Amino acid sequence: MNSVNRRVDPEVIVSAVLGVASALSIVFMTQLVAPPKVLFGRSLTAISPSLFPYLVLGGLVVLNILFLYRCNIRPEGIWSEPVYNEHSRIRGLMLFAIMLFYSLAMVPLGFLISSVLTLAMISVLVGNRSPWQIALIALVPPVLLYLGATRLLAVALPELSSIEFFYAYILGESDGIGGAVQ
């Protein structure tokens, strides 16, 4: 490798920055997550609101450490040849635009529709052209995540009423006319 053109691999920089940000978020979690509401000295929730952020951020720290370790033991280390071109910039901007769409579409469209659209756009962006794969990637994970979050973990996600009624009807939690089974 030409030592003049060597530079730190951008993936290493991003991983290091995200790892430090995740670790700092864990350290300052009490300032980032509001304490649970208390009624008569008891919490209204079974688990702490900071549990999931701790799990996710802890997982990110571990994955970043593993990634940086693997980069360090490869033959070229953390160095790479500069490979920037106009297409990578455009794809990066498109990914940013897709994620901006996702965050703005979450409330008006709900979790499920915005997630399906976002995953379909990202799948096409990374080069997937198979309609079956795009459909599976876009439909299965959001539905499983929605059902897991709302049914198993009892976490509220933003969703359109018609989709919530549909799930309630399919799962047998409704009498079919919009009311809950008594």
Q: What is residue 104's predicted lDDT score, i.e. its pLDDT?
A: 94
Closest CA to 107 of 52, 156, 50, 151: 156
Task: Give the C-alpha distances (Å, rounded to integers) separating 10 from 67, 94, 118, 157, 167.
Answer: 13, 18, 25, 34, 43
- The answer to whether the CB of 161 falls within 8 A of the CB of 173 is no
9-56 tens-digit pLDDT: 777 888 899 999 999 999 998 888 777 676 666 665 667 777 888 998
81-113 tens-digit pLDDT: 555 666 777 888 899 999 999 999 988 888 899
The letter for the amino acid at 25 is S
Chain centroid to CA 181: 34
Q: What is residue 135's predicted lDDT score, i.e. its pLDDT?
A: 96
- pLDDT band for position 139 (50/70/90)? very high
